[in-house]
């Protein structure tokens, strides 16, 4: 993802097996601080820089920052990204992944020659990524006809009032259950709607060999990590669906995490307009590079992204050589 997006970071995942929804705030804080203390030799502004993912938020990043800083005896904002702005976080970080999905979707739409009015969108998942992507696509003139969360899907052929849906979820414990601005459908039905764009922004393995043949979207923008199985990928490629892979479509988050790290190291912070402008430029550039590889080698976008990323890493290793 970082190599595709032009971000000079590595990449890894780590976490704790638990259900934070069943834990008190105090328990989550103690868990976060113990996790940070146990990895104190791994974390660092020039080593491993954590960032938010599923079931984490700005507060958890703040606890991580505080725990690390107490151990090293100095405040080190650049050790973690996705922090609250008042602790050195970046403008636009919370919306960054959804904004990247929007940018890639519009770039794909342009490649296929679709006009905004022709672009009906279904978004699976209405958390931080899905809700932001839906709102931004709505603001760009796309017709978001379906959204969903764990409570199920919601469909309105005339378009859903996304700001109203976001306000409803905020007032009902971040849930769309009972939302009256659309008809109820299942999450499975949402995936196979007659739309131009499908944005799976929930969990992995949502598009499988069992439902891939029924997907009608021309563009799939993967806001989630690994929403499409390898078997489904083959079916979608046969159908001619343009799949914008997760390592490209949802790279907005890590890109603005990089921006946050840069700002923390400089002690100079950018406006929201500057963050968004630079994010949009980097995402467009990454999309065009991958799309060029897709066309040049007649390969799927996912393989094109791998070609770009692996070539960058291999070229860097060859250039550095081997210290013996």
Domain ranges, residue 46: 15-89
Instruction: Look up the pTM and report it.
Output: 0.93
Residue 293 lies in a domain: no
Q: Are the C-beta atoms of 252 and 276 separated by less than 8 Å?
A: no
Out of 64, 89, 114, pick the residue that ends a domain.
89
Whether residue 102 is found in the same domain as residue 169: yes
What residues are labeled active site? 13
Strand, helix or coil for residue 50: coil
| Whether residue 245 is found in the same domain as residue 100 | yes
- Helix ranges (H only) for the chain are 2-5, 25-38, 58-72, 96-111, 128-139, 162-171, 187-191, 230-239, 246-249, 252-266, 272-297, 301-320
| Each residue's pLDDT expressed in tens, for the chain with a length of 324 residues | 899 999 998 878 888 999 998 999 999 999 999 999 999 999 999 999 999 988 899 999 999 999 999 999 999 999 999 999 999 999 999 999 999 999 999 999 999 999 877 899 999 999 999 999 999 999 999 999 999 999 999 999 999 999 999 999 999 999 999 999 999 999 999 999 999 999 999 999 999 999 999 999 999 999 999 999 999 999 999 999 999 999 999 999 999 999 999 999 999 999 999 999 999 999 999 999 999 999 999 999 999 999 999 999 999 999 999 887
Domain assignment of residue 113, yes or no: yes
- Segment holding 143, helix H or strand E: strand 143-149
């Amino acid at each position: 993802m970082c190599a595709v997006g032009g971000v000079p970071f590595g990449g890894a995942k780590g976490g704790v097996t638990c259900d934070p929804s069943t834990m008190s705030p105090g328990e989550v804080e103690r868990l976060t601080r113990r996790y940070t203390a146990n990895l104190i030799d791994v974390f660092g502004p020039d080593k491993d820089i954590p960032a938010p993912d599923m079931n984490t938020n700005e507060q958890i990043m703040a606890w991580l920052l505080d725990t690390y800083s107490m151990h090293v005896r100095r405040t080190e904002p650049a050790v973690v990204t996705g922090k609250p702005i008042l602790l050195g976080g970046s403008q636009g970080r919370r919306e960054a992944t959804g904004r990247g999905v929007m940018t890639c979707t519009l770039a794909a739409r342009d490649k296929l020659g679709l006009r905004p009015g022709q672009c009906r969108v279904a978004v699976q998942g209405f958390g931080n990524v899905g809700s932001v992507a839906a709102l931004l696509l709505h603001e760009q003139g796309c017709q978001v006809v379906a959204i969903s969360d764990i409570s199920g899907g919601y469909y309105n052929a005339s378009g859903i009032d996304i700001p109203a849906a976001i306000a409803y979820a905020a007032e009902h414990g971040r849930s769309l259950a009972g939302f009256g601005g659309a008809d109820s459908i299942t999450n499975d039905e949402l995936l196979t709607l007659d739309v131009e764009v499908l944005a799976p922004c929930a969990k992995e393995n949502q598009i499988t060999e069992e439902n891939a043949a029924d997907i009608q979207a021309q563009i799939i923008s993967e806001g989630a990590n690994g929403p499409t199985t390898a078997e489904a990928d083959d079916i979608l490629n046969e159908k001619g669906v343009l799949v914008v892979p997760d390592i490209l479509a949802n790279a907005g988050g890590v890109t603005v995490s990089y921006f946050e790290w840069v700002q923390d190291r400089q002690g100079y912070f950018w406006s929201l307009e500057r963050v968004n402008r630079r994010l949009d430029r980097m995402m467009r550039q990454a999309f065009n590079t991958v799309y060029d590889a897709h066309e040049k080698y007649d390969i799927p976008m996912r393989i094109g992204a791998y070609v770009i990323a692996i070539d960058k890493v291999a070229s860097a290793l060859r250039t550095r050589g081997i210290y013996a």
